[in-house]
């Protein structure tokens, strides 16, 4: 059936491979398939090249040996998949060569992501290529982001992207803390703690925003470039950032006096 046959087609074909050649009456009795169904199934199997009709009275049917039949079905599926792949490649190429044009200022989109892998895929490239990234993340969401998107963050940081994160200090897992420590060695990476809410906001290039729709959870997640929601998200982030004085930025430049204070 995974090779493309229906259940009754598979059952009929397997029955015929066991009994060599037979008339419809015997096939029906052996397979326990109604004769009226076999009059529909056998021509379909003939068309697939799995069954041959022997001219006799009564009419007989003979199956292609199982190894040959399954090979034929596999080749058919492979050819179909190859054709589909070629068509998809052509579709993507045509889309790339004939884009619909840049998004206008009046165009806005709202996309809800409800699957974690899709969320990661949606964020990975934009973060890695961002020139600015502002994140307000509860500890559990930050653990998730660091675990899945650390390389993207490090790539952006290594290109001097401005990255600002507000989060909660308590209960960050050790791996997250180690990776954050490494990120703080980059000049434009800054993190502040003592986040007082469970709101998740990720603003990329001041052009688009991802917002967690359930308190404390990564998904479902809303992506949008809507100017009003983007402005509201930026205001929320800046307010929280300015109210938060616990910071860790480029620690190597901190003086001993500042550490004591």
For 192-214, what is each residue's pLDDT tens digit? 987 878 889 999 999 999 998 88
What is the H or E stretch that residue 192 is in? strand 189-192
CB atoms within 10 A of CB 16: 26
Q: How far is CA 49 from the centre of its chain?
A: 38
Residue 69 in domain: yes
Domain identity same for 114 and 87: no
Domain identity same for 209 and 252: yes
Confidence at residue 196, expressed as pLDDT on a 0 to 100 scale: 79
Residue 57 is given by DSSP the state: S
* pTM for the whole structure: 0.56
Confidence at residue 164, expressed as pLDDT on a 0 to 100 scale: 94
Residue 126 in domain: yes
The Cα 74–Cα 182 span in angstroms is 51
Residue 182 is given by DSSP the state: H
Confidence at residue 246, expressed as pLDDT on a 0 to 100 scale: 54
pLDDT < 70: residue spans in the chain: 99-106, 216, 244-261
Q: Which two tokens stand for residue 73?
A: 């079905």
Residue 151 in domain: yes
Confidence at residue 244, expressed as pLDDT on a 0 to 100 scale: 54
φ, ψ at 3 (rounded to 5°):
-90, 5
The b/e string for 163-172 (b: 16+ C-beta within 10 A; e otherwise) is: bbbbbbeeeb
Confidence at residue 169, expressed as pLDDT on a 0 to 100 scale: 75
- Of 74, 96, 118, which closes a domain? 96
Residue 102 in domain: no
Domain span including residue 142: 110-260
Q: How many domains does the chain fold into? A: 2
The predicted-structure confidence for 88-124, as pLDDT tens digits, reads as follows: 888 888 777 776 554 444 577 888 888 888 889 889 9
Domain identity same for 91 and 114: no
Confidence at residue 124, expressed as pLDDT on a 0 to 100 scale: 92
């Amino acid at each position: 059936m995974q090779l493309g046959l229906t259940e009754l087609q598979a059952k009929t074909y397997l029955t015929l491979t066991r009994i060599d050649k037979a008339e419809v009456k015997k096939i029906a009795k052996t397979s326990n398939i109604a004769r009226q169904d076999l009059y529909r199934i056998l021509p379909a199997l003939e068309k697939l090249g799995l069954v041959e009709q022997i001219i006799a009275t009564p009419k007989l049917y003979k199956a292609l040996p199982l190894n040959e039949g399954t090979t034929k079905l596999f080749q058919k599926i492979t050819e179909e998949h190859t054709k589909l792949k070629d068509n998809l490649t052509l579709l993507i190429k045509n889309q790339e060569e004939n884009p619909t044009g840049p998004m206008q200022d009046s165009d806005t989109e709202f996309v809800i992501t409800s699957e974690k892998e899709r969320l990661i895929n949606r964020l990975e490239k934009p973060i890695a290529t961002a020139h600015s990234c502002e994140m307000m993340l509860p500890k559990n969401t930050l653990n998730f982001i660091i675990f899945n998107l650390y390389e993207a963050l490090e790539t952006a940081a290594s290109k001097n992207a401005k990255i600002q994160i507000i989060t909660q200090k308590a209960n960050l897992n050790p791996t997250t803390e180690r990776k954050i420590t490494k990120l703080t060695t980059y000049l434009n990476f800054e993190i502040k703690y003592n986040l007082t809410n469970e709101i998740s906001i990720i603003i990329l290039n001041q052009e688009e925003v991802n917002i967690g729709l359930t308190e404390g959870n990564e998904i479902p997640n809303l992506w949008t470039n809507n100017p009003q929601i983007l402005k509201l998200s930026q205001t929320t982030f800046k307010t929280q950032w300015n109210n938060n004085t616990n910071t860790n930025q480029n620690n190597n430049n901190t003086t001993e006096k500042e550490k004591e204070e």
